[in-house]
Amino acid sequence: MPDPGRVWRIHPPGAEPIRCNAVARACGASRALYRLDQERPPGALWPEKGDPEYQRVTATEFNSITEENAFKWVHIQPEPGRFRWEWADCVADFAERHGQRVRGHVLVQRETLPWVDALQGRELLDRMEDHITHVVQRYRGRIHQWDVINEILTDAPPLPGENLHTLGPESLVESTWKRESGIAFIEAAFRAARRADPDALLFYNDYFHESDLPRAPCDPPCPEIPGVFDAMICWKLRRAELLIDHLRALEEGGRPLIDGVGVQMHLHAVDHYRRDPACFTRRLRHFAERLTNRGVMVEITEMDVSLMDLYREYCDTPDVRPVATPEALALQAQIIRDVLGACLAVRGVSGVTFWGVRDRDSWLGPFFAKTDRSDLLPVCRNPHVHMPLLFGDNPDTPDTVELLWKKPAYWAVHHVLVECAQAH
């Protein structure tokens, strides 16, 4: 894995910053995410035209950038053969100016454009391979890691006759890719990316209901989660293992087609964690070990910890911005510290990305506001209840947007990196 060679500037006042390259050799580079909110115009990273505060924090605090939307098919090739590079180029240029690396997210996902949906059979795969080749070759040597495919494994119960020993179409969610090619598009996508940039690291990225992980083999009794949810996690994890085995058995240029798995890690500060955090961290470490034991790296790729379950009384008052209590912020920081401590202790876990910088730019508010899932409606009218990230608005000057507050979660990341470096 490339050496980040970058200062990770998370350090207490008066202390020297931690050298990220030293941490990387010991326990995997710790990364963070710069993203644009889905409603933010693409120019937010442009010099002299964007968001100066966001740019400053991103440039000084983090050593890697993952942009949520700029590299997606919908933005780069919205119409057949018409490529738009401005947004993605802006992200790559920003990272290079500040000595940062870029994770490319994402080349193929289950959601597709109408013109792609209309393609059939071999023509669909040809278009996909052509798109991947154009994108990856353009950024060859500039983007060190790609999420090749995102969220195509199902967590539904096994269908009658589904073989959980071999990857098959039954393991996948419904999509145009599955309809037209079964599982063939998976190999084709990874092979095209490997050919386009043999030095880039290729990842499969997905969520695994990480708040409620399957029990580790030696777990003592602990509070149970609903059995169906536990089963969902086990099924999806098993399918991920099948996908890894499938791709590692295939080679391009003398290398297996897959290098790693991205585990998103969207968490909530919920009751089961508060009852038994030790059980949660044991499960998490076992989960990471099951994936790394297949011969791949694992990265936490979209981490955040929502506090919405602690602020349900504000759910129906979208104009009210609740102030997090010290207890809520301490719980959030402890969860982050436990998760990073457990994961970075596993050999093969190579990094962590936070899915946003400032609380007010989190994806969670827009997502809950737009979802049509009835079980989520009670918590979706107030976008301010999540507060899931490392930086919040300064509580002493809430109306001054130029000042950001480093939350306890920020210092939790710092302490884990210090402990990890000292341990190695």
| Paired tokens of 188 | 């084709």
Would you state the pLDDT for residue 179? Answer: 96
- Which residues have CB under 8 Å from 109's CB, separation 6+? 72, 73, 149, 150, 151, 152
Which DSSP string corresponds to 104-149? Answer: EEEEEES---HHHHT--HHHHHHHHHHHHHHHHHHTTTT--EEEEE
**Is 116 a residue whose pLDDT tops 90?**
yes
| Paired tokens of 201 | 């690291």
| Paired tokens of 328 | 């809520």
Would you state the pLDDT for residue 220? Answer: 52
Range from 24-33, 111-120, 216-225 carrying the lowest mean pLDDT: 24-33
Range from 7-16, 22-31, 191-200, 383-392 carrying the lowest mean pLDDT: 22-31
**Is 21 a residue whose pLDDT tops 90?**
no
**Is 226 a residue whose pLDDT tops 50?**
no
Compute the average pLDDT of residues 280-308: 92
Would you state the pLDDT for residue 384? Answer: 82
Would you state the pLDDT for residue 39? Answer: 33
**HEC states along 13-72?**
CCCCCEEHHHHHHHHCCCCCCCCCCCCCCHHHHCCCCCCHHHHHHHHHHCCEEECCCCCC
Share of the chain above pLDDT 70, in %: 75
Helix residue ranges per DSSP H, 293-407? 326-344, 364-370
Compute the average pLDDT of residues 146-156: 95
Q: State the pLDDT confidence band at 55, using cuts at 50, 70 and 90.
A: confident
* Residue recorded with tokens 């999806």: 236
What's the rounded Cα separation, in Å, for the pair 386 and 283? 24
| Listed residue (48, 146, 62, 154) closest to 100, CA to CA | 62
| Paired tokens of 184 | 């063939």
Longest Cα–Cα distance in the chain: 62
Strands 251-252 and 255-256 come out as antiparallel
Q: Contact at 8 Å (CB) between 18 and 414? A: yes
Give all domains of the chain, ordered by start, each with its CATH number.
7-423 (3.20.20.80)
Residue scoring higher pLDDT (366 or 302): 302
Would you state the pLDDT for residue 354? Answer: 93
Compute the average pLDDT of residues 17-23: 29
Determine the residue type at 350.
Answer: S
What's the rounded Cα separation, in Å, for the pair 71 and 116? 17
**Is 330 a residue whose pLDDT tops 50?**
yes
What are phi and psi for residue 53, nearest 5 degrees? -65, -45
Residue 392, H or E segment: strand 391-393
| Paired tokens of 261 | 């798995």
* Residue recorded with tokens 């391009």: 252
- Overall size of the chain counted in residues: 424
CA 123, 124, 129, 133 torsion-angle sign: positive
Residue scoring higher pLDDT (377 or 70): 70
* Residue recorded with tokens 């353009």: 138
Q: Contact at 8 Å (CB) between 190 and 134? A: no
Would you state the pLDDT for residue 36? Answer: 31
Would you state the pLDDT for residue 230? Answer: 57
**Is 46 a residue whose pLDDT tops 70?**
no
**Is 271 a residue whose pLDDT tops 80?**
no
**Is 159 a residue whose pLDDT tops 60?**
yes
Compute the average pLDDT of residues 166-171: 93
What are phi and psi for residue 168, nearest 5 degrees? -140, 175
Compute the average pLDDT of residues 171-175: 95
Compute the average pLDDT of residues 105-111: 95
Would you state the pLDDT for residue 232? Answer: 61
Would you state the pLDDT for residue 1? Answer: 30
**Would you call the peptide bond into 173 cis, given omega within 30 degrees of 0 as the criterion?**
no
Would you state the pLDDT for residue 172? Answer: 95
Dihedral in degrees, nearest 10, Cα atoms 83, 89, 91, 93: 170
Q: State the pLDDT confidence band at 38, using cuts at 50, 70 and 90.
A: very low
C-alpha separations of 353 from 24, 201, 413 in Å: 14, 16, 11
What's the pTM? 0.86
Rounded (5°) CA angle 15-407-40: 115
Mean model confidence pLDDT for the chain: 80
CA atoms within 13 A on the CB side of 292: 18
The per-residue b/e assignment along 386-400, b for 16 or more CB within 10 angstroms, e otherwise, is: bbbbbbbbeeeeeee
Would you state the pLDDT for residue 3? Answer: 31
**Is 188 a residue whose pLDDT tops 50?**
yes
pLDDT tens, position by position, 354-376? 998 888 888 888 787 776 655 55
Range from 16-30, 127-141, 260-274 carrying the lowest mean pLDDT: 16-30
What's the rounded Cα separation, in Å, for the pair 164 and 10? 43
What's the rounded Cα separation, in Å, for the pair 23 and 277? 26
Most confident of 211-215, 316-320, 360-364, 399-403: 360-364
Most confident of 27-41, 54-68, 229-243, 291-305: 291-305
Would you state the pLDDT for residue 193? Answer: 98
What's the rounded Cα separation, in Å, for the pair 106 and 123? 21
C-alpha separations of 52 from 45, 81, 97, 355, 389 in Å: 8, 34, 15, 19, 19
Residue scoring higher pLDDT (253 or 422): 253
Compute the average pLDDT of residues 383-410: 75
Q: Which DSSP letter does residue 310 get?
A: G
| Paired tokens of 55 | 């740019």
